[in-house]
Structure 1
Amino acid sequence: MITAGTSFGSDVDDIDTLVADPLALLVQWLPPHDSELRPLAALSTIGRDGIPSLRHVLVSDRDATGLYFHTDSGSEKVAELAANPVAAMSVAWPELGRQVTVRGIVERTSRAAAADIYRRRSRYLQLLAWLNTHDNARLSAYDRRHLWAEFDEAHPVLDPPERWAGFRLRPLTLTFWRGDMLGQSVRQQYTLTDGRWSGRILAG
């Protein structure tokens, strides 16, 4: 059975009161990096054609400075972030009636920090970081699986590939949405201005 406390993080007791530190609430809402149910987040960047670009990424970790995700440095999203280092991420927990949306500045993490995250990844995701290439995608399903099995057997221990990269989204706005099966849903929206957070309550 999935429980909020073990799989999805937890909430404050008084959900109607604005918090002094919304980053601490963000950390509290999200599960730790070693949770089996680390959330997928919708990541929105600005496409190089000026149109918003959206995909889902695994939230690698979270702390009092923001959210972390990791990807191939040759991906389209990395090119978009190089051109315009801003993004939004949104994570939803339908089972709990919660959603958080983060907007802010994206910065690249150190190679050592990215490698540490890689070592925590499942064997499948470690292999995927090496084999998820455009060339391999053009192979047949049979050939892709054969290549995967051969590579897996030949590399019992893996370090991250050179193209493995980590990013941190530093929040400028945080929006916490809470549903209510018996009444109106509401949002708490926090904005960072001159190093200080201010909040307001909005309709859901």
Structure 2
Amino acid sequence: MDFVVAPDPYTLFQSWLDEASRTEPNDPNAMSLATIGADGIPTVRIVLLKGLDDGGFVFYTNTLSRKGRELAAHPVAGLCFHWKSLRRQVRVDGRVSPVTAQEADDYYRVRPRGSQIGAWASAQSQPLDSRATLERRVAEETARFGEGDIPRPPHWSGYRVTPVRMEFWQDREFRLHDRLVYTRDAEDKGWTTERLYP
């Protein structure tokens, strides 16, 4: 597979994501999200990319969750996409900002109803004494909202990771991989590129 250098990393990323969407059996938009914990130790988990624009990479979550609290304290993050079937990886390092209330509302409205209920029922990242407690909370929230619209909870929103560095990795024989890095100092500055040894 040829490694084509695009003038900006978003163009290259979108082409890789489009290809992954055709080849990956599950969640081609899955990405590892690394944040900085209260003790300074990084923490990582898988989340789903739900938007990509000139401002960056967007995902949604409970803002009171562990990752939400960590992002409030340290608004920086690392992302990693790995598409095993394509033998490709993309790493993103950047600054994090909340999405607008309108963006969060728009995305929340298209979520499945069960996921909307879950956003109210789950005190994400807090201790849970039993599965039965969670199921009871889901039943209570389901009854509370009935058949009507379910508003977005005040503690549920999204974040945008605006990259300052993006690295594209393509597997090659004998571990002689291709690595291309895009960097910039600020959002209004252009990208510079360089290749790295594998």
For residues 80-104 of structure 1, the C-alpha deviation after alignment (integer angstroms, 9 at most, x for no partner) is 2222211111111111111111001
Task: State the SS of the aligned residue for 2:154.
Answer: coil
How far is the alpha carbon of 1:39 from its aligned partner?
A: 1.9
For residues 28-48 of structure 1, the C-alpha deviation after alignment (integer angstroms, 9 at most, x for no partner) is 3335xx998352211111112
Structure 1 match to 2:41: 51
Correspondences of 1:133-152 after superposition (within 5 Å): 133=123, 138-152=128-142
How far is the alpha carbon of 1:117 from its aligned partner?
A: 1.2
AA at the equivalent of 1:123: R
Structure 2 match to 1:198: 192
Task: Select which of 163, 178, 202 maps to 2:170.
Answer: 178
Correspondences of 1:1-204 after superposition (within 5 Å): 14-15=2-3, 17-31=4-18, 37=27, 39-133=29-123, 138-152=128-142, 154-155=144-145, 156=147, 157-180=149-172, 184-193=176-185, 195-204=189-198
Larger CA deviation: 175-184 vs 101-110: 175-184
Q: Indicate how the Cα distance of structure 1 residues 135 and 90 shifts in structure 2: closer, same or farther if over 3 A, else same.
A: closer
AA at the equivalent of 2:197: A
Larger CA deviation: 57-66 vs 139-148: 139-148
Q: Indicate how the Cα distance of structure 1 residues 39 and 135 shifts in structure 2: closer, same or farther if over 3 A, else same.
A: closer
Q: Indicate how the Cα distance of structure 1 residues 38 and 159 shifts in structure 2: closer, same or farther if over 3 A, else same.
A: farther
For residues 9-67 of structure 1, the C-alpha deviation after alignment (integer angstroms, 9 at most, x for no partner) is xxxx851x432111222233335xx9983522111111121111212212111122210
Is the Cα–Cα contact under 8 Å of residues 65 and 124 in structure 2 kept in the other structure? no
Is the Cα–Cα contact under 8 Å of residues 120 and 141 in structure 2 kept in the other structure? no
AA at the equivalent of 1:25: L
AA at the equivalent of 1:185: H
AA at the equivalent of 1:56: I
Q: Which TM-score applies when normalising by structure 1?
A: 0.80
Q: Indicate how the Cα distance of structure 1 residues 126 and 28 shifts in structure 2: closer, same or farther if over 3 A, else same.
A: farther
Is the Cα–Cα contact under 8 Å of residues 90 and 168 in structure 2 kept in the other structure? yes
Q: How many equivalent pairs are there? A: 189
Task: State the SS of the aligned residue for 2:151.
Answer: coil
CA distance in 1 between counterparts of 2:125 and 2:7 reads 50
Is the Cα–Cα contact under 8 Å of residues 107 and 167 in structure 1 kept in the other structure? yes
| Structure 2 spans left out of the alignment, 5+ residues | none
CA distance in 1 between counterparts of 2:150 and 2:96 reads 27
Task: State the SS of the aligned residue for 1:158.
Answer: coil
For residues 93-133 of structure 1, the C-alpha deviation after alignment (integer angstroms, 9 at most, x for no partner) is 11111111100110111111111111222333222211111
CA distance in 2 between counterparts of 1:127 and 1:198 reads 44
Q: Which TM-score applies when normalising by structure 2?
A: 0.82
AA at the equivalent of 2:156: W
Task: State the SS of the aligned residue for 2:86.
Answer: coil
